């Protein structure tokens, strides 16, 4: 089995994910025929700090109405729908995991955003889009699953127009050693490809991106991670456990421990395609 196939299966291991999410939404009292991005935020923003992190990164990107934005590794489509609804963008999401892409499309239809958000299954290492197709690109907590960052960045740069901007959040390797496993992005070390923040910045610049903003937000994410880990056994009805299942408490605890021990860090960055 290839590395990319293993990663897709890691995220798509829960069967009938869409049905599970809709059932939880119904139990939470949501109107399934008139869902909003806010209704879905507790379950479709799988990265650290959830919607808060998405809103922070959106402020950094500051897209304009009508901008064409590519969401690389879009997951269940939460950030894509947020950008479309809050900023009026036209967002295309792509995800390696077929189950995620299908559920993301279903949730997009139920929020009435299909005219502004489209979702496809595909590999970020071979983006199925023409050169210079997008005004902006978006990537949140995805590259830690990609061994070939050079190819990933080359593909993102290819589909961005000159002057287009890339907003990213990435978990990077800290000085404390490898993270504890399992974590949400990898059940074992062989599927985790963290690099240090300095090495990441060098790869971005070598790929032809100019750094506009670079912020170490480790402390903010570590606090949020600690709060999530302490909630074991008391998770809300709608939450990442719907996706990650019974393994989620141990994953959350390992992320928290890895932050506390300096094994992982997090950065926000805004870059411009040269």
Residue 233 has a pLDDT of: 66
Dmax (CA) for the chain in angstroms is 49
Overall average pLDDT of the 210-234 stretch:
92
- Of 159 and 237, the structure prediction assigns the larger pLDDT to 159
For residue 40, pLDDT over 70 is answered with yes
User: What residue numbers bound the domain in which 189 lies?
Assistant: 3-118+131-273
Residue 21, CA distances (Å) to 97, 174, 220 in order: 17, 34, 28
Domain assignment present for residue 77? The answer is yes
Residue 1 has a pLDDT of: 65
Overall average pLDDT of the 135-148 stretch:
97
Overall average pLDDT of the 204-224 stretch:
98
Distance CA 125, CA 67 (A): 23
Residue 13: which pLDDT band, with cuts at 50, 70 and 90? confident
Q: Where are the beta strands (DSSP E) in the chain?
A: 68-72, 90-95, 117-121, 134-140, 160-173, 209-216, 264-273
For residue 265, pLDDT over 70 is answered with yes
Residue 14 has a pLDDT of: 75
Overall average pLDDT of the 212-235 stretch:
91
Cis before residue 44, ω within 30 degrees of 0? no
218: CATH = 3.40.50.150
Domain assignment present for residue 125? The answer is no
Overall average pLDDT of the 55-81 stretch:
98
Tens-place pLDDT, residues 77-98? 999 999 999 999 999 999 999 9
Tens-place pLDDT, residues 99-129? 999 999 999 999 999 999 999 999 999 999 9
Residue 262, CA distances (Å) to 177, 194, 220 in order: 8, 13, 14
Domain assignment present for residue 152? The answer is yes
Domain assignment present for residue 123? The answer is no
Give, rounded to a whole angstrom, the gap between the first and last alpha carbons of the chain.
Answer: 37
Distance CA 240, CA 157 (A): 31
Residue 231: which pLDDT band, with cuts at 50, 70 and 90? confident
Domain assignment present for residue 78? The answer is yes
Whole-prediction pTM: 0.95
Paired tokens of 78? 């939460």
Tens-place pLDDT, residues 164-195? 999 999 999 999 999 999 999 999 999 999 99
Domain assignment present for residue 93? The answer is yes
Percentage with pLDDT > 70 across the chain:
99
Contact between 96 and 122 (Cβ < 8 Å): yes
| Total domain count, the chain | 1
Domain assignment present for residue 159? The answer is yes
């Amino acid at each position: 089995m290839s590395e990319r196939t293993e990663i897709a299966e890691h995220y798509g291991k829960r069967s009938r994910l869409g049905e599970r999410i809709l059932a939880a939404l119904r139990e939470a009292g949501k109107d399934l025929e008139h869902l909003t991005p806010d209704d879905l935020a507790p379950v479709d923003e799988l990265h650290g700090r959830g919607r808060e992190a998405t809103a922070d990164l959106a402020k950094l990107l500051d897209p304009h109405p009508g901008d064409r934005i590519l969401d690389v590794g879009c997951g269940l489509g939460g950030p894509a729908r947020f950008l479309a609804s809050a900023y009026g963008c036209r967002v295309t999401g792509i995800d390696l995991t077929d189950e995620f892409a299908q559920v993301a499309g279903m949730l997009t239809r139920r929020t009435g955003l299909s005219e502004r958000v489209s979702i496809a299954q595909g590999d970020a290492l071979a983006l199925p889009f023409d050169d210079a197709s997008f005004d902006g690109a978006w990537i949140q907590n995805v590259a830690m699953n990609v061994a070939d960052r050079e190819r990933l960045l080359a593909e993102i740069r290819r589909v961005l127009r000159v002057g287009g901007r890339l907003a990213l959040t990435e978990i990077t390797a800290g000085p404390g050693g490898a993270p504890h496993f399992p974590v949400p992005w990898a059940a074992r070390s062989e599927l985790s490809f963290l690099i240090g923040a300095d090495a990441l910045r060098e790869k971005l610049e070598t790929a032809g991106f100019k750094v506009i903003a670079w912020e170490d937000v480790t402390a903010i994410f570590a606090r949020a991670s600690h709060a999530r880990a302490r909630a074991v056994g008391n998770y809300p009805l709608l939450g990442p456990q719907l996706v990650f299942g019974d393994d989620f408490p141990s994953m959350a605890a390992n992320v928290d421990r890895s932050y506390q021990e300096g094994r992982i860090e997090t950065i926000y960055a805004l870059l411009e395609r040269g």
